[in-house]
């Protein structure tokens, strides 16, 4: 009977078993599903990548989700890299207990790494790099015993390397770089015997390099660069037989390099630059490095000679020994290395004989040499003609700041890809070779401070890519070639202190790209100053002093709206000082000394509020000193000596400065402050005072009566005509803002709809506080152009007010760095449709370049150092125009990266004037004098606005400082890390001045080759940003000073400065 009972119960058992399996599967299914849904719920925004994440589909089919083959409905891998996600990493991910691989890299996740990740016991691959994560590495991470790859780089993670990681003995690769990790590097890391890649660079680790790292026998890559490590390089590192890359650069390491390091046959890359290492380089340096391709020992304190044994390192591609204290000649064997780059600048290397130049001759056998940088040494003798036989791939050749003499070899023109040719500050003689005109790709040519003679070859006009040209301080003669007008990309040009003659070619003044300096001073140029000088609208410094120019000064320099310094002294100009010169509101220095100018000093000069230095001495100026000059608060140097001036000397402003006011040689001046010891001015006699008073009173009464009568008659006329002129209530024509005139063509709603394909989403290029911006193509003034159409949302409170405000502002401003308006459109009732049509900016806004769009898959866009500096200069120039050079003066009130648009050539244009405030009316009267409510965007708005303070230009300067920090750190002031009083400003102050490389945008480092240059520029940029963002408005710089500083920083970078003492 028992067997019968067993078989009878079998169906029931099978049913129960099936039910149990079903509920187990359903339970696991729901656990993983809930974890994924919780992850999505934690996102503040999501991209198309998560469109498939809905419950109508099996979650195993969702984008990025991979389920296990052995365990149905269990997630084994989750890959959402570069999906544009923003939010926090949900703790519920710890419930995906079968997860083996998690990749959330290149997103915008913030908050802390959840400790629940330690529940993922099968995890072997964890990548949370390139996000905005904070906090510490969870101490429980050591429970991931299967973990082989841990990537947390490029976040803001703090603390130290958690002791629990010691238990992750299967680790093969660990990348924690670009964080804020500090403390010492733990000694126990040397016990993770399987480690092949260890990257801890760009943190704040202190102490020494643990000698135990020498036990990592499987290690291939060791990066501990850009920290604060000190002490010697451990000899034990030489035991790592498989090491391919050793990156210890940018620390405070000292002592000598262990000889064992140079005997590691597997090493391909050694980076030890920017430390405090010393001693001589081993004589056998190149004998034990058969695979080395990059040997970078720059910016240390090495002494002695360059070892000839380096010639045995035949695989080397880049040899950089720059900025040390190396002496002697360069071994000729070095040339046999055939490196791509040979960089020996900033040492004490020398050559005096042809034999000493043998390394150059040896290099001529190499076909892949791209850069030879020997500047700032003691090379002398004649440059060998064999230089003409260097590789045609040569891109950089710089031997500036040496003592080389003789003629420049004609063969210097044999390099079609040459970008930079630096020959300045030597003792070259003879003429500039005509063959230089063959260097069609050349961007940088410096021949200054030599003894070059002859004429300027017309072939220089062939260098259409040239951006920087200097031939100053030589003995060049003859005319400037007219075809220099072909240099349409030139940024700065210096021809000063030569013997050039003839008239100034008008073509050179058509070079609108000139934005830094044009120096024609100390030559023998004659004739007049061409009126085309007004075409230099972007130029900052114009020097034409000490020549033989004559004639009257043209009015056109007033068009040079960016000009800060104008020197025309030491010529023979005559006639009056043009009144138009007062329109140059950006001028800081004006020097017209030693000419033959006549007439009075224009009183309009008193309107040049930014002028600091005014030199008018040794002319024939007459009449009185304008009283307007004493109200120029910025003026601290005024020289009017040796003229024919007479009358009263004012007593305020610069006239009260005994050292700043020079007036000798004007015998008819009187008055002024007593310390000037001038005679008193004669007083006018008072005749019939009472009679005059009565006459004045009668005249005033009579005038007032006549005016009152005229007003009464006018009122009666208007009243009688009022009914006849009344406009019907039904309008038949579209209404436009009152500023619209013939300059702004009328467009309709249908025109804009057609231009933007019906305002479709595909044409949306941005959204803002009050509406959307669409890209379109439309016919305007007989040309079809691409435009941006900003459509205001009528449902958004304040949009109508913003529309009117923008129209008013945009109708009054014109500047290359402000967004240009084409026209606008408003409906009949001014309620339902309002739009402004702008010039289209093809490169979008600055915010998208600095932040999340940078991480878009397959579309990495990174701004270079020069681009960032240029954009900052553009922004400052726009604000300077608004504050000082437009009428009426204005305060933007909402400066931030999303309001800075990038046009052709990456030129920056400030836009969005919905909050802009007019400061003065056209007569200069103050309009803003009341306390303000908060205007602007949180994080960028000046602190005084939040306290009800007065709106002022200094508020814009504060915002500029914040934007400047954001441009170079890629950190927004509203990021989650900035809480509890810790702000972007405090973040910068914490790093300034010694740790700036720790806060710099890591993507900037990825596109720049010279970290020393970046470090020095970062020092000046941060200092300026902090000066702009001081808490008290009165302590901030003026925007004019900001413009000057930014131009200096840009010039510093352009001049190739690579290191500043005390920086970083």
Whole-angstrom distance, CA of residue 802 vs CA of residue 800: 5
Cα–chain center distance at 147: 41
Can you give the pLDDT at residue 1052? 78
* Among 240-244, 304-308, 721-725, the least confident range: 721-725
Please check the confidence at residue 76 and state whether its pLDDT lies above 90: yes
- On the 0-12 / 13-18 / 19+ scale of CB atoms within 10 A, 593 is buried
Can you give the pLDDT at residue 931? 47
pLDDT category, 935, cuts 50, 70, 90? low
Using an 8 Å Cβ cutoff, are 63 and 49 in contact? yes
Instruction: Provide mean pLDDT across the span 503-527.
Output: 94
Can you give the pLDDT at residue 936? 77
Please check the confidence at residue 1059 and state whether its pLDDT lies above 50: no
What is the per-residue DSSP string for 580-599?
GGGG-TT-SEEE--SSEEEE
Question: Token digits for 278?
Answer: 């010393």
* Statement: 576-679 belongs to CATH 3.40.710.10: no
Please check the confidence at residue 785 and state whether its pLDDT lies above 90: no
**Number of C-alpha atoms within 13 angstroms, CB side, residue 921?**
5
For 215-258, the pLDDT digits (tens) are 999 999 999 999 999 999 999 999 999 999 999 998 999 999 99
For 653-676, the pLDDT digits (tens) are 999 887 889 999 999 999 999 889
Q: In this structure, which topology does domain 842-1064 adopt according to CATH?
A: Transferase(Phosphotransferase); domain 1 (1.10.510)
End-to-end CA distance of the chain: 92
Can you give the pLDDT at residue 745? 77
pLDDT category, 447, cuts 50, 70, 90? very high
Per DSSP, the three-state class of 963 is helix
Residues annotated as catalytic are 894
Q: Where are the domains of the chain?
A: 11-181, 576-679, 734-840, 842-1064
Using an 8 Å Cβ cutoff, are 259 and 283 in contact? no
Can you give the pLDDT at residue 998? 77
**Number of C-alpha atoms within 13 angstroms, CB side, residue 418?**
27
Question: Token digits for 123?
Answer: 């995890």
Question: Token digits for 866?
Answer: 């020069």
**Cis amide bond preceding 993, omega within 30:** yes
* Among 298-312, 370-384, 493-507, 788-802, the least confident range: 788-802
Q: Which helix (H) or strand (E) holds 802?
A: helix 799-810
Instruction: Provide mean pLDDT across the span 505-527.
Output: 94
Same fold, 11-181 and 576-679: yes
Is 790 annotated as contributing to ligand binding? yes
Can you give the pLDDT at residue 703? 52
What is the per-residue DSSP string for 898-940?
GGEEE-GGG-EEE---TT-EE-B-TT--B---SB----S-TTT
For 133-171, the pLDDT digits (tens) are 999 999 889 899 999 999 999 999 999 998 889 999 999
* Pair type for strands 149-151 and 125-127: parallel
Query: Which residues have C-beta within 8 Å of that of residue 905, sequence separation ≥ 6?
Result: none
What CATH number should be reported for the domain whose range is 734-840? Answer: 3.30.200.20
Can you give the pLDDT at residue 657? 84
Using an 8 Å Cβ cutoff, are 1028 and 1006 in contact? no
Per DSSP, the three-state class of 649 is strand
Please check the confidence at residue 1007 and state whether its pLDDT lies above 50: yes
What is the per-residue DSSP string for 680-738?
PPPPPP--SHHHHHHHHHHHHHHHHHHHHHHHHHHHHHHHHHHHHHPPPSS--S----T
Whole-angstrom distance, CA of residue 217 vs CA of residue 237: 10
Percent of the chain with pLDDT over 90: 56
pLDDT category, 688, cuts 50, 70, 90? very low
Can you give the pLDDT at residue 601? 97
Per DSSP, the three-state class of 1039 is helix
Whole-angstrom distance, CA of residue 863 vs CA of residue 865: 7
**Number of C-alpha atoms within 13 angstroms, CB side, residue 543?**
17
* Statement: 11-181 belongs to CATH 3.80.10.10: yes
pTM as predicted: 0.66
Rg from Cα positions in the chain: 36
For 837-849, the pLDDT digits (tens) are 888 888 889 998 9
């Amino acid at each position: 009977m028992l067997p019968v009972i067993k078989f009878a119960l079998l169906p029931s058992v099978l049913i129960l078993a099936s039910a149990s399996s079903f509920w187990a599967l359903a339970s696991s299914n729901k656990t993983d599903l809930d974890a994924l849904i919780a992850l999505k719920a934690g996102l503040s925004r999501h991209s198309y990548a998560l469109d498939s994440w809905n419950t109508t589909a099996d979650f195993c089919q969702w984008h990025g989700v991979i389920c296990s083959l052995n365990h149905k409905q269990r997630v084994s891998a989750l890959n959402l890299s570069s999906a544009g996600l923003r939010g926090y990493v949900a703790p519920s991910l710890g419930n995906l207990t079968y997860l083996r691989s998690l990749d959330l890299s290149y997103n915008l996740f913030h908050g802390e790494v959840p400790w629940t990740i330690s529940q993922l016991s099968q995890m072997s691959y964890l990548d949370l790099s390139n996000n905005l994560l904070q906090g510490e590495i969870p101490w429980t991470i050591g429970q991931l015993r299967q973990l082989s790859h841990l990537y947390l780089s490029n976040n803001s993670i703090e603390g130290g390397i958690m002791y629990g990681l010691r238990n992750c003995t299967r680790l093969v690769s660990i990348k924690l770089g670009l964080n804020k990790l500090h403390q010492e590097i733990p000694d126990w890391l040397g016990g993770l015997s399987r480690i092949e890649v260890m990257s801890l660079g760009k943190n704040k680790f202190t102490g020494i390099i643990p000698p135990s790292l020498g036990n990592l026998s499987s290690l291939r890559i060791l990066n501990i660069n850009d920290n604060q490590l000190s002490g010697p390089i451990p000899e034990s590192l030489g035991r790592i037989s498989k090491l391919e890359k050793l990156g210890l650069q940018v620390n405070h390491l000292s002592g000598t390099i262990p000889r064992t390091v140079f005997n590691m046959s597997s090493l391909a890359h050694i980076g030890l630059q920017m430390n405090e290492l010393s001693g001589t380089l081993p004589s056998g340096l190149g004998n034990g490095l058969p695979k080395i391709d990059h040997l970078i020992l720059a910016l240390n304190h090495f002494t002695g000679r360059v070892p000839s044994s380096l010639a045995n390192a035949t695989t080397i591609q880049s040899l950089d020994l720059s900025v040390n204290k190396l002496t002697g000649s360069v071994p000729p064997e070095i040339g046999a290395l055939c490196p791509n780059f040979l960089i020996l600048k900033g040492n004490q290397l020398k050559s005096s004989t042809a034999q000493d130049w043998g390394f150059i001759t040896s290099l001529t056998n190499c076909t892949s040499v791209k850069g030879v940088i020997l500047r700032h040494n003691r090379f002398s003798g004649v440059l060998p003609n064999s230089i003409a036989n260097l590789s045609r791939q040569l891109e950089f050749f710089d031997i500036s700041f040496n003592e080389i003499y003789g003629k420049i070899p004609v063969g210097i023109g044999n390099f079609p890809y040459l970008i930079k040719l630096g020959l300045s500050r030597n003792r070259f003689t003879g003429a500039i070779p005509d063959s230089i005109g063959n260097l069609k790709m050349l961007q940088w040519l410096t021949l200054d401070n030599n003894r070059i003679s002859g004429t300027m070859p017309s072939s220089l006009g062939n260098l259409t890519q040239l951006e920087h040209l200097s031939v100053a301080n030589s003995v060049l003669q003859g005319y400037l070639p007219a075809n220099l007008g072909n240099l349409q990309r030139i940024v700065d040009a210096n021809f000063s202190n030569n013997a050039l003659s003839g008239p100034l070619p008008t073509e050179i003044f058509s070079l609108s790209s000139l934005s830094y300096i044009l120096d024609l001073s100390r030559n023998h140029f004659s004739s007049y100053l061409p009126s085309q000088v007004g075409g230099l609208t972007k130029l900052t410094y114009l020097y034409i002093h000490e020549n033989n120019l004559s004639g009257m000064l043209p009015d056109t320099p007033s068009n040079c709206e960016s000009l800060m310094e104008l020197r025309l002294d030491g010529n023979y100009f005559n006639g009056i000082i043009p009144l138009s010169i007062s329109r140059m509101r950006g001028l800081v220095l004006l020097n017209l000394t030693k000419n033959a100018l006549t007439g009075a000093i224009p009183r309009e000069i008193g309107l040049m509020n930014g002028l600091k230095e005014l030199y008018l001495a040794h002319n024939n100026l007459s009449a009185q000193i304008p009283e307007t000059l004493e109200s120029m608060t910025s003026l601290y140097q005024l020289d009017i000596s040796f003229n024919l001036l007479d009358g009263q000397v004012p007593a305020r402003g610069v006239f009260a400065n005994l050292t700043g006011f020079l007036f000798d040689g004007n015998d008819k001046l009187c008055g002024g402050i007593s310390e000037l010891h001038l005679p008193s001015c004669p007083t006018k006699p008072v005749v019939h005072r009472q009679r005059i008073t009565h006459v004045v009173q009668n005249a005033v009464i009579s005038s007032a009566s006549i005016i009152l009568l005229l007003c009464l008659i006018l009122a009666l006329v208007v009243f009688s005509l009022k009914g006849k002129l009344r406009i019907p209530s039904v309008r038949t024509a579209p209404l436009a803002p009152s500023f619209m005139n013939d300059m702004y063509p009328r467009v309709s709603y249908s025109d804009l709809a057609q231009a933007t394909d019906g305002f479709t989403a595909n044409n949306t290029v941005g959204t803002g506080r009050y509406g959307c911006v669409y890209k379109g193509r439309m016919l305007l003034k007989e040309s079809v152009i691409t435009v941006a159409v900003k459509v205001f949302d009528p449902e958004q409170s304040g949009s109508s007010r913003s529309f009117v405000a923008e129209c008013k502002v945009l109708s009054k401003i014109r500047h290359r760095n402000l967004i240009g308006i084409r026209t606008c459109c408003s409906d009949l009732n001014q309620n339902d449709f309002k739009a402004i049509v702008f010039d289209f900016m093809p490169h979008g806004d600055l915010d998208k370049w600095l932040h999340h769009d940078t991480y878009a898959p397959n579309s990495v866009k990174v701004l270079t150092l020069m681009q960032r500096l240029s954009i900052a200069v553009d922004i400052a120039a726009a604000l300077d125009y608004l504050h000082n050079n437009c009428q009426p003066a204005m305060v933007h009130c909402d400066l931030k990266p999303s309001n800075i648009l990038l046009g052709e050539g990456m030129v920056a244009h400030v836009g969005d004037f919905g909050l802009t405030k007019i400061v003065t009316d056209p007569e200069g009267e103050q309009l803003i004098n009341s306390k303000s409510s908060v205007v602007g965007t949180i994080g960028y708005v000046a602190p005084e606005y939040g306290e009800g303070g007065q709106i002022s230009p200094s508020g814009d300067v504060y915002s500029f400082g914040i934007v400047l920090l954001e441009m170079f750190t890629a950190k927004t002031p509203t990021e989650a890390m900035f809480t509890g009083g810790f702000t972007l400003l405090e973040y910068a102050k914490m790093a300034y001045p010694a740790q700036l490389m720790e806060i710099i945008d890591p993507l900037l480092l990825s596109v720049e080759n010279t970290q020393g240059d970046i470090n020095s520029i970062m020092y000046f940029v941060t200092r300026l940003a902090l000066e702009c963002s001081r808490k008290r408005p009165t302590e901030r710089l003026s925007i004019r000073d900001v413009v000057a500083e930014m131009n200096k920083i840009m010039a510093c970078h352009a001049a190739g400065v690579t290191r500043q003492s005390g920086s970083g």
